[in-house]
């Protein structure tokens, strides 16, 4: 039985240029005899302003890695610095504080059904204390995502793709320095999906925002600066979109290769 332990390993010092800095990270679900390791010795540097796509087969650990970077789980083994803060060993309360600086775009959009699109986004603005400008900020973000004429609609009157875009507006309205996205375009048609990634691209270029995104959507690979491939909980490759696609096309045994032909 493997026992996760607090490590005395020395890690590289904090770096200003990195939004996320992961060193020798291991992660286990469960405890004791039922403990199952799902991430193995992950080391990864995400510089500020980069868009990084995380891909890999089902069950390879992508969502787990994303939730760890999002301070949504506590962890003990290795080093994981997010926006300058070491998450390993942090209390639950301190993890909540880190989360406030991160924009989450996850598949379950969790909108409040009794509130309009604008009010759902305004709730996020309220967390920053900007009450007087919340309606304007929400309206501007919804407009940027093509929902100017839907600001006063409730979720039940919106399509699945429109609801997803409201959730994205809520994640982005406070201009977070780090955005974590799990299949953000899965529920969107081609144009809406492209609008969303173009917007993320503009945010990263104009505001230096870092984006870590899990996706299987081959239509948006071109937006990435890097593609990281996770297999069985291990980093298998870290390459440019073109190099990644070529490596997949060159491997006739890789069933995922077809997905990545653009
Ligand atoms: N809460 C949990 N408890 C126990 N095991 C879990 C839990 N969540 C995920 N796992 C296991 O951890 C492994 C990694 O899961 P994860 O969801 O991170 O993979 P993934 O690459 O995101 O998969 P997918 O592409 O299907 O979403 C899988 O074997 C999964 O069964």
Q: What is the pTM of this model?
A: 0.87
Residue 239: Cβ-neighbour burial (10 angstroms; 0-12, 13-18, 19+): middle
Q: Give CA–CA dist 84/20, Å, rounded.
A: 8
Residues 6 or more apart whose Cβ sits within 8 Å of residue 242: none
Q: Give CA–CA dist 101/180, Å, rounded.
A: 11
Residue 232, pLDDT above cutoff 60 = yes
Residue 193, pLDDT above cutoff 90 = no
User: Going by CA atoms, what residue is nearest to atom 18 of ligand 1?
Assistant: 61
User: Going by CA atoms, what residue is nearest to atom 28 of ligand 1?
Assistant: 59
Indicate whether residue 59 lines ligand 1 (CB < 6 A): yes
Indicate whether residue 233 lines ligand 1 (CB < 6 A): no
Place 260 in a pLDDT band, splitting at 50, 70 and 90.
very low
pLDDT at residue 139 in the model? 97
ipTM over 0.85? The verdict is yes
pLDDT in tens, 74-131: 888 999 999 999 999 998 889 988 998 899 988 767 899 999 999 999 999 998 888 8
Place 250 in a pLDDT band, splitting at 50, 70 and 90.
low
pLDDT at residue 6 in the model? 46
């Amino acid at each position: 039985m493997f026992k996760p332990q607090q490590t005395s390993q020395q890690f590289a010092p904090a770096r200003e240029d990195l939004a996320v800095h992961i060193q020798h990270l291991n992660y286990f679900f469960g405890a004791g005899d039922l403990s199952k390791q799902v991430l193995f010795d992950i080391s990864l540097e995400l510089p500020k302003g980069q868009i990084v796509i995380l891909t890999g087969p089902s069950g390879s650990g992508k969502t787990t890695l994303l939730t760890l970077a999002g301070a949504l789980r506590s962890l003990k083994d290795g080093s994981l610095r997010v926006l300058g803060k070491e998450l390993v060993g942090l209390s639950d309360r301190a993890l909540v504080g880190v989360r406030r600086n991160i924009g989450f775009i996850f598949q379950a959009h969790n909108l409040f059904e009794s509130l309009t699109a604008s009010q759902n986004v305004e709730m996020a603005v309220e967390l920053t204390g900007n009450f007087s400008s919340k309606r304007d900020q929400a309206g501007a973000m919804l407009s940027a995502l093509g929902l100017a004429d839907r600001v006063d609609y409730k979720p039940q009157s919106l399509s699945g793709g429109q609801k997803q875009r409201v959730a994205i507006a809520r994640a982005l309205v406070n201009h977070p320095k780090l955005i974590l996205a799990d299949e953000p375009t899965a529920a969107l048609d081609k144009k809406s999906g492209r609008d969303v990634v173009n917007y993320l691209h503009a945010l990263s270029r104009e505001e230096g925002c870092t984006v870590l995104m899990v996706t299987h959507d081959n239509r948006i690979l071109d937006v990435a600066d890097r593609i990281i491939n996770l297999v069985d909980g291990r980093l298998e490759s870290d390459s440019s979109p073109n190099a990644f696609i070529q490596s997949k096309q060159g491997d006739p045994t890789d069933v995922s290769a077809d997905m990545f032909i653009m």
